[in-house]
Structures are given as structure tokens and as C-alpha cells.
Chains A and B, each alone.
Chain A
């Protein structure tokens, strides 16, 4: 059994940002997938529904994300075939994914992804919101706000400062758009085409892609060498 297969990612997706809000969980990402330094695919859906109660967002190698979706399909199908009135919630899906990712890592053949798992399911204390992440080496945790990739450096500081437990959907969208805009400005592989998805007790909605308004009108950008003609 070869122990040295640690592949390189080829077609990669960008950051995914997610956070809990009053009615459930909101998740967002851009719709681009890069092939190295080329922006190869511009209309890729990297957030998908899983069962009735969860959303999964994936960054990293896109083919591995598609494979994970097939595993989850099999999982939810088997669960449905039990026909016992119960269905897998986000916590269970997250635990399943953690096992899959960690076992692959132990075989030195990882699925090169950072996955964000969010959802709402009725529990003993009423409707329980859940948001967690698991990455290619099997690190997993649960938090009120999650970001993968570059979002860790640029979106998490904003979310840590401004997230609140009782945000309405509109407030949550505004905060997520703030993070998406910063990533658009400062992450070279980001594109201006985003998708937002939300999941509540009513079900999940993945909104159509749209663009954010950017502002490039700073006076200093007009003529940077105004103060010293001939500077370089």
C-alpha cells in the first residue's frame, strides 16, 4: 500500500463563509473555481443541500467535493430507506464527514477540502442550529461563525467583532456581504459573483448568483505620484 500519495489539488474553490443567525444558518461563497493561477470556471455551485436539514459548502479541490456529495447522497438514500420517520441532522452529517476526512488522511490520501456544514434540526431543546467545519486533515469544530481558506484571515476578524446571536436575515446578509467584499478586494482568486444560501426550520434556499458593488474612487488612486513628479 503506497504511503506517499499526497496529491496536489488542481481545480480549487475559494473561501466559504457561514454564520448562525436568529432563524438558522446562512452560508455564502463565490462561484469561481481556479485551475492553478487560471480562473477556469466561473459558475460553480459550491454550496449544496444535504438531506432536509443541512447545507454543505466546500472549498479546495472541486472533484473531491463532488465525490463527497456522492457519498452524502448514498448516506441520505440509505437513511431514507429505513423509513423510520427520522432523518440525519447536521450534527450527524458533520460527524460522518469528520470520519471520512480523518480516515482518508490516515491513509495519506486526503480529500483536499475544507468543508462547512450548517443546518437546523429539532432537538430536545427545540430547534437547534448547528454550524461546524472539517478540513482535509480531519480537524473539526463547531462555532457560531466559520470561514475557510483566506476567509480565516480576513473574514474571521470581522465576524468576531460584529457577530451577534440574534441577527435578522437582512443583518446577517449585510455582514456576510461585508466579508465577501473584503475577500473580493484582497484575495486574488476571488470573483465578483456570489451565492448566498440559508437554512431554517422551513427548509433551505440557495439564492441565484449576484455581484457586489465595489468602490475604486479614492482620490489617492487617481494620481499616486501627484506629490512627486518623476517618482517610481
Chain B
């Protein structure tokens, strides 16, 4: 055989795709389509207020419950505080699918790690798994997280940004309502808060986001994590109740609709057998 043929690749053979990360092959096509007038579908974001703070015995996380799709409220009572481990929870802001997927994925990885090591998960483990994943996707996974928990080394609170950077903080806020919530924290936070004071301050910060930011609204969710105990207070406060409820409810009594004419058609009756045997069923 000719050596030239042996060195050349087989016609039609594919290069192996790179492991991990996105493939940007279709970007040129998408840009061309957009130029020709195609409207790309938008993302459902969580336009959010999420907060966390460290108090005397652990961490308190808080979140609002509004999910927005542009100017519309897509979900009035969604859950933004995600389970990572029995002692670690994570609030998520940004694209809802991204926060769900990434917290779900890391939560599973932590569980496998717990089985492998026979130990309680540590917050820094979750932090490293999250930041490595997000950095690999160069900010395209739009998840801004507030990660908090208590492990053998003590209480921890971190923020994780979509590009993969992290901060370790005594109090943190993320999301579109973060400025309103941060103004509450900056003026009222101090170290060594009690559990009640921590919950009250978190609820106040989330309420500031709910009432002053259009992307946040509805209810306040709170999660308190201490050594050996976690309390997920779903809908801890409902500051936006439905004020008008019709006393009549949704009832459509007879007489609501005008009857113009009535025609009654009998259903086909079973024919009576005069003589002979009845048909076998």
C-alpha cells in the first residue's frame, strides 16, 4: 500500500469531542440567524434577593420566592434555597435552570463523597466543586450563589459568582435585590447575633429586597443551620397576602347563564328481546 494513504486520516472520521465545557460550533450559525431576524428565546431568571449571615451558633440563609420571565412573574412561590447536604444549603440567583442544575449536581457529588469517606460534608468541599464547575464554563452558567453551612470546622458562609470567583464573608447578599438587602445588613449587622436576631435581620433584608426591587417579591424563605440541626422555614413570612377575596367565590349557579332552548336526546336503549335468545355478550 502507498504510505501516503496510511498517514492520511480516513475520510469521514470525526475528531473526538473535547471532554467537558461547551461546544461553540453552532455560534456562527446562530449569529447569522439572528442577523436575519430570528428572535432568540430568553432565559427564565430568578431576579432575586438572596442573603446569608453568620450568627453565634451557625448560619442563617434567606431568599424571596419570585421567579421572573422578563417582566412577567413566572412563579409566585418558587424555592430558591437548595439542599446540598444535611448540614449545607445554597441559595441561588441568576438563571433558574442553571442554579437548579448546578446545585443538584454538586449535591449528588457530595453524597457520593460522603459514602466514600464516611464523613459529614464540609462547606469548602461544596465551594470548591461549585467554583471549579462554574470556572470551566467561563461564566456561561449564570449561577450566583450564597452557600452556607456548619461542619466540623465551624460555620461558613460564601458567595460564588458565575465566573467562578468566591468570597468568604460574615454576611452576604446576591441577586437584583442585593443592594437593598445589603443596605439593611451594612447598617444593622454585628457579630455574635442570637438565633432570633439573625432570623429577624435576614427576614428584614429579604423584605427590603421584596418591597424595593421589582425583580423580587412574594414571600420570605429562611433556613437556619447550626451544629447538628437544620431548620428549613419555608414561607417563614408572607408579607404579600391576597387582600381581596370574593365572598361568593367562583360559583356558577343555575340561573347564571340564560337558557335559550332545550333539546333532550335519549341514549340508545337496550333493545327488548321479543322471542328467541338474547345475544351473547
Residues of A participating in the B interface, judged by any CB pair closer than 8 Å: 153-158, 160-161, 178-179, 181-182, 185-186, 218-221, 224-225, 227-228, 231
Contact = CB atoms under 8 A, between A and B. Distances in A.
B179 A160 contact: no
Given A157-B180, A220-B168, A221-B170, A231 B128 contact: yes
A225 B168 contact: yes
11 contacts: A153-B183, A156-B212, A157-B180, A157-B183, A158-B184, A158-B208, A161-B184, A161-B204, A218-B191, A227-B123, A227-B124
A220 B54 contact: yes
B150 to A, nearest CB: 11
A158 B154 contact: no
A219 B186 contact: no
Interface in B191-208: 191, 204, 208
Nearest to A225: B168
Contacts of B251: none
Contacts of A154: 179-180, 182-183
B264 to A, nearest CB: 64
B156 interface: yes
A183 to B, nearest CB: 9
Given A153-B179, A153-B180, A182 B187 contact: yes
A31 B204 CA distance: 31
Interface string B148-166: 0000011011000000000
A160 B212 contact: yes
Contact of B191 (A219, A224, A225): A219
Contacts of B122: 228
Nearest to B123: A227
Interface of B: 54, 122-124, 127-128, 153-154, 156-157, 167-170, 179-180, 182-184, 186-187, 191, 204, 208, 211-212
A207 B122 CA distance: 53
Given A220-B170, A227-B154, A185 B124 contact: no
B183 A218 contact: no
A52 to B, nearest CB: 35
Contacts of A221: 170
B170 A219 contact: yes
Please give me the 4 A-B residue pairs with the lowest Cβ-Cβ distance, nearest first.
A228-B124, A153-B179, A224-B168, A157-B180
Given A218-B191, A220-B54, A227-B123, A182 B156 contact: no
Given A157-B212, A160-B211, A227 B180 contact: no
Contacts of B180: 153-154, 157
Nearest to A227: B153
Q: Which of A220, A221, A225, A231 has most B Cβ within 10 Å?
A: A220
Given A153-B179, A154-B182, A179-B187, 6 more contacts: A156-B212, A158-B183, A185-B186, A220-B170, A224-B167, A231-B124
Contact of B186 (A186, A228, A231): A186
A161 B124 contact: no
Nearest to B167: A224
A178 B188 CA distance: 9
Nearest to B209: A157
Contacts of A156: 212
Nearest to A159: B183
Nearest to B192: A219
A218 B170 contact: yes
A181 B186 contact: yes
Contacts of B153: 227-228
Contacts of A153: 179-180, 183
Given A153-B179, A157-B180, A220 B169 contact: yes
Nearest to A153: B179
Contacts of B183: 153-155, 157-158, 179, 182, 186
Q: Which of A158, A179, A225 has most B Cβ within 10 Å?
A: A158
A200 B156 CA distance: 49
Contact of A157 (B128, B156, B184): B184
Nearest to B179: A153
B187 A181 contact: yes
Contacts of A185: 186
A224 B212 CA distance: 31
